[in-house]
Structure 1
Amino acid sequence: MERREVLRLSAVAGAAGALTLGRVSFADAAPADGRPGGGPGEQTRRVTGHLPTGAPDFVYLPVEVPQGVREIAVSYTYDRPAVPEGTAGNACDIGIFDERGTALGGAGFRGWSGGARTEFFLRADDATPGYLPGPVNAGTWHIALGPYTVAPQGLSYDVTVTLRYGPRGHTPPPVHPPERARGRGRAWYRGDSHLHSVHSDGGRTPAEIAALARAAGLDFLTTTEHNTTSSHRAWEGLWGDDLLILTGEEITTRNGHVVAMGTDPGVFLDWRYRARDNAFGRYARAVRRAGGLVIPAHPHATCIGCNWKFGLNDADAVEVWNGPYTPDDEVTLAEWDNTLVAHAQGRADWLPAVGHSDAHRDPDVVGLPQTVVLADDLSRRALLDGIRAGRVWIAESAKVDLAFSVTGAHGEHAGIGERLDVPGASEVTARLKVTGAPGCTASFVTDQGRLHSAPLPPSGDGTLSWRTTPDNAAYLRAEVRHPATTPGLPGPMAAMTNPVFLGRRC
């Protein structure tokens, strides 16, 4: 056993801070079969240490990897002492960077499993889900520990590193999903763009998720694992004319999560920063350079580190509905709605609302909710363009369908995400047609709030109309809700639209 304590504080540019431990060397020992530098033998080193409360977000353990290594295997444990009620206990994530280093956004990233696994391996032709297969080159690798929360007693860790020697092996080129499926031309397409598999902390395989997506009536999905791109190559044979698969990442920082939707396959997006580092704009631009959308996820979720602290200036859309509709979604919806007036007055851009399941494992429902996008075709570019433009509504399932538009007195017409450009005193008519929502109530919402509601027929199919003017409503959007279940709150959402803005542009 080699005991390693924290040796020096390393300032990582733009990061919330990191500690670098003493180096682990394998140079003084031969492989188990006695043939240095080659053969099928292996070497193992064990490192233990203790981190105090208030430890930096990342602790790097340098490992000197000699020539001739074909596989690195790592396992770890840490203590979980009892803590007083209301006090966070120990939680420690893990990942690895190769000889190219740990620089933020750099090329050295080789995998991350967060707290989902206690061991992993990687080699040229294979790797544990969450990790990237590839050559094991000689040099200084870094095991990354992420003490997410630390108990008052501190956190004691125990890391075992095993190097296995032999031929390097061959890394097959990754097969990534195509960017286009057959589709139906310009149409409304249903998708779920916040999903987790065994490649991060989910319990389902990509094959199981694809089957559930088809069963849910989805046209597209996005694979968004926590802080890793390993799933991008895991969907071979699962796409088809009926299902488009986009690649992305859930960038999981200590101050909120962001869905990077539709990024280029294989592009890693870093997460090692906090709001106080004033670095989010840089990484939002990196998402866009990779062709993706920046979508803050579950901004008011109650889990540690899930609350969104970066502001919305660098976002392209916002996830207002995450999984089964709950009070934290209601808070996000209200916050989002409050931003719409500024755009209606021409003072700011607006962020379209989207909804995703964030499904991890049974009983999480893929496609609850689902984002429905009006796109020119079923392709990556067309879908992202549709979301940017706000041509989006959200439903709890494919059983719910709706059509929403606003018309003027002289035949002017605007749909979801558009503006009806008519004089302020001109009367306009909003029309909402709903199917598949039995027991629900449909409503029109303006900048004054919910101004007109009516129950749908028992069948769940009905049409609601209402008249107003741009002078009285800066925008109109529609909601379909179930009966209330929480005192003081409206009922859970069954479907909702993005707004139609009213009046002349300022």
Structure 2
Amino acid sequence: MNFAAADGQDQETRTVSGTLPPGSPDFVYVPVEVPAGVQEIKVSYTYDRPSVPAGTAGNALDIGIFDQHGTDLGGRGFRGWSGGARTEFFVRADDATPGYIPGPVGAGTWHIALGPYTVAPQGLTYELTITLAYGEPGKTARPVYPPQRAKGRGRAWYRGDCHLHSWHSDGRRTPAEIAALARAAGLDFINTSEHNTHSAHAHWADEAGDDLLIMLGEEVTTRNGHVLALGTDAGTFIDWRYRARDNRFGRFAREIRRSGGLVVPAHPHATCVGCGWKFGFGEADAVEVWNGPYTPDDEVTLAEWDNQLVASVREGRDWLPAMGNSDAHRDPDAVGTPQTVVLADDLTREAVQDGIRAGRSYVAESKNVSLTFTATGGRARQAGIGERLDVDPDTPVTIRLEASGTPRCTVSFVTDQGVLKTSGPLPVTGSGVVEWQTTPAYAAYVRAELRHETAAGPLPGALAAFTNPIFLGRR
């Protein structure tokens, strides 16, 4: 699409339309020639939504934009993405729609990126309206980011929610509203995770404080699953335009780690289109086992994660720690339900990440739930969550769980052989202690699950909390 020089006009508008057939590419790029002197680019779009038979996907079209630096995968051209959350956006030097990156509007070929998330059998007909406004460019402010340290309590258990969405992607809350809800939920840290954009990074500094560490990241939302880039360096953008069959995920997982972040596949068994995780877990630092209110998807992920623990023991390889996050978008989504409780040396980005990576953590449904989980044996040696009790195979070991905030919950100790100890329900006060005796020869690891009562017969109750494992025996 070509625009001529303005010749005294303040702005000019063009429209372009097209139809995307079923089976169209994941991303379609519409070129826009931007002359010198443009102050602002504004884009709006519509598309048809025909009726489709029951069980057939209708039309859904995502949108974003790349500047004159091009659309190369992982390149410099990215200027914003709103998915299907907005019908219009603007970009200029001094401001941009949430989800988009302010900065100079350079002359050259820009591209509007269309992502046909689903296409009806009739095809998807779209119309773009592009307006270029001319004038003196504003000044791009130097971004200010939240600090990588909060006051903390030294080595302690810190509560966090690392999967949250604001109005910078498809959420409806402002960063200020999310920060207030995080504090009310008893959280010590959060991680920003907008879909496929880092635009929010420069909007969190005012919400941080001695009582709340705000880490920066992204939810990298591919067509074959979503992954949290957890705690990356400020201003880091991670590309998402690939599928598992393209064999490119390893490149971007390494990029996440080079940028100081953790690689955490999110809701691996969610049933939404494109949400199921297809990249495997070889590049992961942790996995989001519990996402939002507990559902059958989480139950499946919990079982798969436990199978991976068994395989790590059998094969003598590293194990994959579990996390839980709210994935909260809007009311009534509860920030901090669930939350990951991490043993960290201090309330800093690096210390929290170290605790998550080491599996020194448990997942709780709210700030009301607190656990202490230990294994003791062999001359009073003791190990906690994520650690190993290094004793001989036949050494008697005492597993002990102290819980509070879990009224009438059943406690199960899960091992590589399955559930070997069940106790409960706990008193209505929510506090109690459960102990169990075993040996490393009998149980290679032990982890705890606390579940609510269920009225669904043999089906397990929803989780109130679960721990990462304690490993028993010599490596």
Note the alpha carbon deviations across 1:14-46, whole angstroms, 9 max, x for none.
xxxxxxxxxx0002xx53xx416xxxx001010
Q: Is the CA contact 1:443–1:454 (under 8 Å) kept in the aligned structure 2? A: yes
Cα distance, 1:487 vs structure 2: 4.7
Q: Which runs of 5+ in 2 are unaligned?
A: none
- Measure, in 1, the Cα distance between the counterparts of 2:54 and 2:316: 47
State the Cα deviation string for residues 294-317 of structure 1 (Å, max 9, x = none). 000000001111000000001000
Distance in 1, matches of 2:83 and 2:346, equals 36
- Deviations along 1:407-457, one digit per CA (max 9) or x if unpaired, are 004101110001111111111000000001112111211111111121111
Q: Who is 1:152 aligned against? A: 121
Q: Deviations over 1:26-80 (max 9, x none)?
A: 02xx53xx416xxxx0010100111111000000001000000000000000000
Cα distance in 2 for partners of 1:485, 1:357 equals: 25
Q: Are positions 1:65 and 2:61 aligned together?
A: no
Q: Secondary structure at the match of 1:291?
A: coil
Q: Which residue of 2 aligns with 1:50?
A: 19
Q: Tell me which of 83, 87, 101 is aligned to 2:56.
A: 87
SS in 1 for 2:141: coil
C-alpha separation in 2, matches of 1:317 and 1:384: 10
Residue in 2 aligned with 1:195?
164
Match of 1:479 in 2: 449
Q: Whole-Å Cα distance in 1 between the matches of residues 441 and 204 of structure 2?
A: 51
TM-score normalised by L of structure 1: 0.93
Question: 2:295 aligns to what?
Answer: 326
- Corresponding residue for residue 347 of structure 1: 316
Aligned pair 1:265/2:238, yes or no? Answer: no
Q: Which residue number in structure 1 is paired with residue 429 of structure 2?
A: 459
Give the deviation of 1:236 after TM superposition: 2.6
1:345 Cα deviation after fit: 3.9
Counterpart residue number, 1:437? 406
Amino acid at match of 1:35: G
Give distance in 2, aligned partners of 1:344 and 1:328: 25
- Aligned residues of 1:251 and 1:258 also touching (Cα < 8 A): yes
Do 1:252 and 1:271's aligned partners in 2 also have CA atoms closer than 8 Å? yes
* Alpha-carbon offset, residue 344 of structure 1: 2.5
CA distance in 1, matches of 2:368, 2:40: 49
Q: CA deviation at 1:488?
A: 4.1
Report which stretch shifted further, 342-351 or 72-81: 342-351
Partner AA of 1:471 in structure 2: A
State how far apart, in whole Å, the 2-side matches of 1:85 and 1:221 are.
40
In structure 2, the residue matched to 1:25 is 2
Is residue 371 from structure 1 mapped to residue 348 from structure 2 by the alignment?
no
Could you say which residue in structure 2 is the equivalent of 1:297?
266
What SS does the aligned partner of 2:207 have? coil
Q: Is this contact kept in 1: 2:222–2:274, CA < 8 A?
A: yes
Q: How far apart are the structure 1 equivalents of 2:97 and 2:302?
A: 38
- The amino acid that maps onto 1:187 is A
Aligned to 1:422: 391
Which stretch has the larger CA shift, 476-485 or 93-102? Answer: 476-485
One-letter amino acid matched to 1:475: Y
Q: Hey, what's the Cα distance between the residues in 1 that align with 2:295 and 2:162? A: 19
Residues 106-161 of structure 1 show CA distances to partners (whole Å, capped at 9, x for unaligned) of 11100000000000001011000000000001010000000010000000000000
In structure 2, give the amino acid aligned to 1:26.
Answer: F
Give the root-mean-square deviation of aligned CA atoms: 0.9
Among 368, 379, 388, the alignment partner of 1:410 is 379
Q: Which residue of 1 aligns with 2:467?
A: 497
Shift of 1:169: 1.2
Matched with 1:336 is: 305
Structure 1 portions without partners, runs of 5+: 1-23
Runs of 4+ in 1 over 6 A off after TM superposition: none
- Match for 1:244: what amino acid? L
Q: For residues 436 and 355 of structure 2, what CA distance do their matches in structure 1 show?
A: 27
Measure, in 2, the Cα distance between the counterparts of 1:269 and 1:488: 43
Which residue of structure 2 lines up, in the alignment, with residue 399 of structure 1? Answer: 368
Q: Secondary structure at the match of 1:328?
A: helix
Identity %: 70
Deviations 1:434-490 (A, max 9, x none): 001112111211111111121111111000000001111010001111012545421
Aligned partner letter, 2:29:
Y
**Number of residue equivalences:** 474
Instruction: Report if the CA contact (8 A) 1:344-1:501 is conserved.
Output: no
TM-score, reference length from structure 2: 0.99
Aligned equivalent of 1:181? 150
Quick one: which amino acid aligns to residue 107 of structure 2?
A: A
The residue identity in structure 1 corresponding to 2:2 is S
Match 2:357 to one of 355, 378, 388 = 388
- Contact residue 374 and residue 470 of structure 2 kept, 8 A: yes
CA distance in 2, matches of 1:95, 1:486: 45
Q: Cα–Cα, structure 1 residues 263 and 485, in superposed 2: closer, same or farther, change >3 Å? A: farther
d(CA) in 2 for partners of 1:234, 1:50: 37
CA distance in 2, matches of 1:341, 1:116: 41
1:344–1:502 CA contact under 8 A, matched in 2 = no
Distance in 1, matches of 2:92 and 2:315, equals 54
The answer on 1:239 being equivalent to 2:208 is yes
In structure 2, the residue matched to 1:105 is 74
Alpha-carbon distance in structure 2 between the residues aligned to 1:297 and 1:429 = 34
From the superposition, tell whether residues 160 and 488 of structure 1 become closer, same or farther in structure 2 (CA, over 3 Å). Answer: farther
Return the letter of the residue paired with 2:166. Answer: S
Partner of residue 12, structure 1: none
Alpha-carbon distance in structure 2 between the residues aligned to 1:49 and 1:224: 32
Residue 343 of structure 1 deviates from its aligned partner by 2.5
